[in-house]
Structure 1
């Protein structure tokens, strides 16, 4: 997507965005605009809510407690939501933030933390994950903020997996091979991508996954990749071969 109004701050808001309707920001966003960015009455920003596209808006109040804005024009229509599901075993600290941000940038529709036998982190701050997704969308002009689902165990995930969606498994135990041919055959299907933890899935987990009819194992090449690198590589090849890069 080409960049539009790149010099203007971009904010995700919960409000409906309708021509002529004012938008009142909450305390945190008001403080950010008025105190951190030092924006004043007459300055412009870009607003989006994941439903109504992106809008150019002008500040009519610069109170640090409650900034108000008028919507001027829609500068980008709302794109269709992404159906790409992405599951991953949570990582620690900054690397967890990284995989959330990159999933947003790569056009994921649902982000699903999956707890496996070797997962490094078992308790997640869901609000932080959502905040990271929103921040990534603001920075990269993504208008569809992915749904961030609560963490789920691998066994519970597989027990409830929909029969009409294929699950692409980044299989560290597979022989090195290009994933192009395997992915190309899935162009018309609903898909998800599952990335395991550092150290990979346990033998029992991998055997269970490979035995499922909807699982499609792929190799991500001859090198051992960190889990966060594998996530970006897997999403990139999916988007390039059967996704919205085509």
Structure 2
């Protein structure tokens, strides 16, 4: 069932079921009352990443909070996508875009990964989580991806599930077309690794290619920015191996 984009969508932490009422938090209350100017009786959609999507109405607009009343479920909770997206953190402006697009493209887990050429070693996990929620609200996503704490590439590979195929974007991979390579992959548990703007180091490439659960793919003849490469790779993976089939 597709999302209803005519109504405002709001992520809330509360358990959701028919008849439940709760106060929106301070920032959400301000947004609903003073930006959207919602009055009593106005309808919106709420979700929490666990209980599906529900229609709610504004029950009361107070000085301190907007009270919402949950009425009926509009969409059931889907399974969380099983795609792990591991990425080298980028500078803030491009990072917001990268996280939002990962949510839209069906990532189930976002794993910040520190590489030798990572440009932004300080990882604002809370900001990532806020970007994930914003993207889920805007794009009708109900299964909100988890954001993990950052790890170094070496640790990521050492702890990786051996039955999960890890696909990484490598501009030095042979050829330009990723499809023939992806079409040979039999695993359905998948991960995608996208490096930093400077690419993986020679040492990191050797480490990756030595592992039996790792597959390198090219992404055409043009050099892509890391955030562009992420979207392109997720698109071809979803079309070839994932939930677009």
Answer yes or no: same fold by TM over 0.5.
yes
Report the Cα distance in structure 2 between the residues aligned to 1:212 and 1:129, rounded to whole angstroms. 29
Moved more, 38-47 or 62-71: 62-71
Change (3 A) 1:175 1:75: same
Q: Deviations over 1:146-173 (max 9, x none)?
A: 0011111111111111111110011111
CA contact (8 A) 1:169 1:218 kept: yes
- Give the structure 1 partner of residue 175 of structure 2: 176
CA contact (8 A) 1:45 1:58 kept: yes
Cα deviation for residue 188 of structure 1 reads 4.1
CA contact (8 A) 2:165 2:187 kept: no
Aligned-CA RMSD value = 1.2
Q: Deviations over 1:88-136 (max 9, x none)?
A: 1111011000100000000100001111000000002111110000000
Cα deviation for residue 187 of structure 1 reads 4.9
Report the Cα distance in structure 2 between the residues aligned to 1:163 and 1:245, rounded to whole angstroms. 25
Moved more, 112-121 or 17-26: 17-26
1:134 aligns with 2:136: no
- Give the structure 2 partner of residue 100 of structure 1: 99
Cα deviation for residue 52 of structure 1 reads 1.1
1:20 aligns with 2:19: yes
Report the Cα distance in structure 2 between the residues aligned to 1:178 and 1:45, rounded to whole angstroms. 44
Cα deviation for residue 204 of structure 1 reads 0.3
Report the Cα distance in structure 2 between the residues aligned to 1:178 and 1:31, rounded to whole angstroms. 49
- Give the structure 1 partner of residue 90 of structure 2: 91
Q: Deviations over 1:13-59 (max 9, x none)?
A: 11111111113211121111112211111111100111111111001
1:63 aligns with 2:62: yes
- Give the structure 2 partner of residue 192 of structure 1: 191
1:74 aligns with 2:73: yes
Cα deviation for residue 242 of structure 1 reads 0.9
Report the Cα distance in structure 1 between the residues aligned to 2:157 and 2:193, rounded to whole angstroms. 11
Q: Deviations over 1:55-97 (max 9, x none)?
A: 1100101125221111121111111111100011111011000
- Give the structure 2 partner of residue 204 of structure 1: 203
- Give the structure 2 partner of residue 123 of structure 1: 122
